[in-house]
Structures are given as structure tokens and as C-alpha cells.
């Protein structure tokens, strides 16, 4: 399942109406049927028609609080270029592949026959080409701006893995992630990957410095001045830049790893050590804001990776792999400067990021584990 967010034209949308629909969706989640006289019947019908889908993957978990913001689930009608259709004829969202447009019927404004037409994103066409389908959409507000979320689903059986394994060792961003390609029990390629942290850290420092300056003005009651406003704008711009850089890096890295797995028909093993990474970051005395940011993008990386592995039917397994225990003799390893690990008992020596790969090789050689790896029914979640 993959999702894309599309910003809707603000001037064509009544945000109060969308808010009202979101409140109704929240009620529907709690199995309360509230029929509001001033909202169009067909929209309300389709909302309560979703009751049976509650708790399904498409709509995630139910909102934690009453009146929490719940995005409104919507059915879609798909009209393909040869004229054939799929879905409910009266669905509020129409994906028209003849004109490559999306029509939103009566969900942007509470007015009979009100339609908002937006261009079809390239993303949708690509997902359809890959055999996906978009049965559902959701509409909602994000920071008071109206958005449409399209949810692409694809049923795919994971392939039978070849003799290749792609091991992905996830650290926090400062140590990056490391991947290793293993063939027939040998590590044939290995590489640590890191974003350009110096760039991100200097942007972060700048944003902190400007925030302090802004705070000073605010305390003096000068936050309405032209200078303060410009400063605030600048801070927001820098923050957006940091997010964009990290997001971009995550997407490109996931894309490359997924291509690699597909090329070799590899079994993917993910060692996701978020907790350990968090501790490592605290020990490094990184500023807490930066620490949070790195962890957030580490989590995002794992989430996006799993989403895409599932989309392409790449078999994967989540597996904790030790990086401080000797893969030869089980003795505790000693860390030398520059993240090199050494075993005082048997002399094993390797970069820290490579230790998990050695563990996979060792475990794969012991029959039982190799066999259990190839039965990919439970992905360890």
C-alpha cells in the first residue's frame, strides 16, 4: 500500500465543510451514525458504508481522541482509457484516465453538483502501470490546507529468493545505514551510506542561532516588527530545507536498495536498531533537536523501505543482529576508535557496520536459520 498527498486548490474548497466531514468520519469510526440534515445524503451514505472497513489497513487505527482529526475515507471510480470502469459509479472521487484528471464530487463544498477537477499526478499513472489499483482516497486538512490522499494497493506474491541476501543494517543517521550483499554465504559487497551531515548540521546550527535571536525580539515584545517577521520567515525556510534534504536522501536511498534487491532477487534482512541508535545519539551529546530529527528520519527510512518491499513483492525479514558480539566465538567485542570492532579472544576484526553481515553469514550457514529464512510467511511484525 502506498500513499500520495495532493494539495487541493484552496479557493475551490470550503475548509469548514471538510472539517465537518472529518468530524463525521471520526464518529463513523466509533460506530456512531449521526445524520446531519445539512450535509448531502449521498456523501453521508458513503461515509457510513465504510463502517465495515474499519480497522482495515486502509484507514489505519482509530483516532485516539474524540473529535481528533480523522481524514474522510472516500470511494473511487476508475475510468480507464479504453472506457472500461471499476468501482462505484456514484463514488465521490473519479480517476479519469481518458483525460488524466481527478474529479472530486461534492466533497470540497456542500453544494449539489459541485465538482473540483485536478490533474492526475504522474505517480498514479506509474502505480497503475505496475499493476496497482486505487480503490480509496481520503480528504482532510493538514495545517488548515485541504489535501487529497490517494491510496494505491497491489496484491503481489513475494518472489522465491535466489541465493542472494541483501542485509540492511539501520543505525541513526549520523552513522547512516550499511548494506551488504551476500551470495552463497559470502559477503561480496558492502557499503556504509550516510547523508551529507555537515551540511545538515550547519543548517541546523543556523536555525538555532536565528531562533535565539527571534526569541530575544519576542521577549522584548518586538515580534510584530518587520525585522522579526523576516527572521521568522528565514527560520521557516531553513527548517524546510533541512526536512527536504533528509526526505530526499531517504527516498533516494530506499529506491536504490529496492532496485538492488529486485536485480538480484535477494532476500532482504533488515536489522532495525532504533533503540540502540537512540542511546548512541545521546552518548554522542548531539543537541536534542537534531537527535529527534535524525531518529525521525531513521524511522521514516525503515517505514518507507518496508512499504516498497511489500509493494514490489520482495521477501524480507526483520532480524536483530548483534554488532558487539563476535560472530566467530561469541565473545564480547571491543570497539576501537574509528568504529572498528576487535575480538580479544579470537582476533576477529571488522568495521562495526560489517559485524551484522558476518552474523548473517554465520547464521545462514547453520541450517535451521537458513531454512527458516526462506519460509517467508511471517515478516517478523
Residues touching Zn ion, count (CB under 5 A): 8
328 is a site residue for Zn ion (CB under 5 A): yes
Chain positions 348 to 367 lying near Zn ion, rule: CB under 5 A, are 348
Distance (Å) of CA 87 to CA 75, 119, 128: 8, 20, 15
Residue 317 host element (H or E) = strand 316-318
For Zn ion, the closer CB: 1 or 329: 329
Nearest to 187 by CA among 359, 370, 371: 359
Contact 12, 145 (CB under 8 A): no
The full DSSP string for 241-283 is HHHHHHHHHHHHHHHHHHHHHHHHTPEEEEEE-HHHHHHHHHH
Give min distance, CB of 362 to Zn ion, in A.
11
For Zn ion, the closer CB: 158 or 322: 322
Among 346, 365, 371, 374, contact with Zn ion (rule: CB under 5 A): 346
For Zn ion, the closer CB: 312 or 348: 348
Give min distance, CB of 333 to Zn ion, in A.
7
The full DSSP string for 223-242 is TTSHHHHHHHHHHHHHHHHH
Give min distance, CB of 163 to Zn ion, in A.
27
Pick the piece of the chain touching Zn ion (CB under 5 A) from 33-41, 50-58, 240-248, 318-326.
318-326
For Zn ion, the closer CB: 326 or 376: 326
Instruction: Determine the Cα–Cα distance for residues 68 and 314; give it in Å rounded to an integer.
Output: 36
For Zn ion, the closer CB: 172 or 355: 355
For Zn ion, the closer CB: 200 or 326: 326
Instruction: Determine the Cα–Cα distance for residues 186 and 65; give it in Å rounded to an integer.
Output: 51
Nearest to 26 by CA among 53, 64, 56, 52: 64
For Zn ion, the closer CB: 295 or 342: 342
Instruction: Determine the Cα–Cα distance for residues 171 and 274; give it in Å rounded to an integer.
Output: 7
Give min distance, CB of 328 to Zn ion, in A.
4
* Strand 93-96 to 101-105 pairing: antiparallel
Instruction: Determine the Cα–Cα distance for residues 203 and 58; give it in Å rounded to an integer.
Output: 37
Report the SS3 class of residue 82: coil
Give min distance, CB of 330 to Zn ion, in A.
7
Question: Quick one: how far is CA 123 from the chain centroid?
Answer: 16
124 is a site residue for Zn ion (CB under 5 A): no
Residue with cell 506474491: 157
Give min distance, CB of 285 to Zn ion, in A.
31
Give min distance, CB of 344 to Zn ion, in A.
8
331 is a site residue for Zn ion (CB under 5 A): yes
Give min distance, CB of 326 to Zn ion, in A.
3
345 is a site residue for Zn ion (CB under 5 A): yes
326 is a site residue for Zn ion (CB under 5 A): yes
For Zn ion, the closer CB: 266 or 343: 343
343 is a site residue for Zn ion (CB under 5 A): yes
Binding-site ranges for Zn ion (CB under 5 A): 326, 328-329, 331, 343, 345-346, 348
Amino acid at each position: 500500500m502506498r500513499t500520495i498527498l495532493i494539495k487541493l486548490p484552496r479557493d475551490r474548497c470550503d475548509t469548514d465543510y471538510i472539517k465537518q466531514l472529518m468530524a463525521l468520519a471520526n464518529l463513523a469510526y466509533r460506530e456512531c451514525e449521526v445524520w446531519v440534515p445539512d450535509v448531502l445524503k449521498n456523501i453521508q451514505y458513503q461515509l457510513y458504508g465504510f463502517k465495515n472497513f474499519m480497522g482495515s489497513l486502509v484507514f489505519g487505527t482509530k483516532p485516539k481522541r474524540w473529535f481528533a482529526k480523522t481524514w474522510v475515507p472516500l470511494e473511487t471510480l476508475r475510468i480507464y482509457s479504453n472506457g472500461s470502469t471499476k468501482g462505484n459509479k456514484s463514488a465521490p472521487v473519479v480517476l479519469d484516465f481518458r483525460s488524466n484528471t481527478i474529479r472530486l464530487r461534492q466533497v470540497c463544498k456542500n453544494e449539489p453538483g459541485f465538482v473540483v477537477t485536478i490533474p492526475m499526478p504522474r505517480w498514479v499513472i506509474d502505480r497503475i502501470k505496475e499493476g496497482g489499483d486505487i480503490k480509496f482516497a481520503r480528504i482532510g486538512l493538514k495545517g488548515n490546507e485541504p489535501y487529497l490522499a490517494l491510496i494505491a494497493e497491489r496484491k503481489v506474491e513475494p518472489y522465491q529468493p535466489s541465493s542472494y541476501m541483501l542485509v540492511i543494517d539501520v543505525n541513526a543517521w549520523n552513522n547512516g545505514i550499511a548494506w551488504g550483499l551476500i551470495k552463497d554465504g559470502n559477503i561480496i559487497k558492502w557499503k556504509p551510506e550516510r547523508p551529507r551531515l555537515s551540511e545538515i548540521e550547519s543548517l541546523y546550527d543556523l536555525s538555532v542561532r536565528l531562533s535565539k535571536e527571534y526569541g530575544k525580539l519576542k521577549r522584548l515584545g518586538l515580534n510584530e516588527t518587520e525585522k522579526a517577521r523576516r527572521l521568522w520567515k528565514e527560520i521557516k525556510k531553513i527548517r524546510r530545507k533541512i526536512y527536504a534534504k533528509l526526505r530526499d536522501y531517504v527516498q533516494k536511498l530506499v529506491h536504490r536498495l529496492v532496485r538492488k534487491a529486485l536485480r538480484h532477487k535477494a532476500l532482504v534482512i533488515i536489522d532495525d536498531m532504533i533503540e540502540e541508535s537512540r542511546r548512541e545519539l545521546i552518548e554522542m551529546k548531539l543537541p536534542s533537536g537534531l537527535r529527534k530529527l535524525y531518529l525521525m528520519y531513521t524511522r521514516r527510512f525503515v517505514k518507507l523501505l518496508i512499504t516498497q518491499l511489500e509493494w514490489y513483492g520482495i521477501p524480507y525479514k526483520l532480524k536483530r543482529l548483534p554488532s558487539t558480539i563476535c560472530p566467530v566465538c561469541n565473545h564480547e567485542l571491543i570497539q576501537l576508535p574509528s568504529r572498528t570492532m576487535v575480538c580479544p579472544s579470537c582476533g576477529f576484526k571488522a568495521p562495526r557496520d560489517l559485524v551484522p553481515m558476518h552474523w548473517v553469514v554465520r547464521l545462514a550457514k547453520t541450517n535451521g536459520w537458513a531454512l527458516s529464512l526462506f519460509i517467508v510467511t511471517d515478516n517478523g511484525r
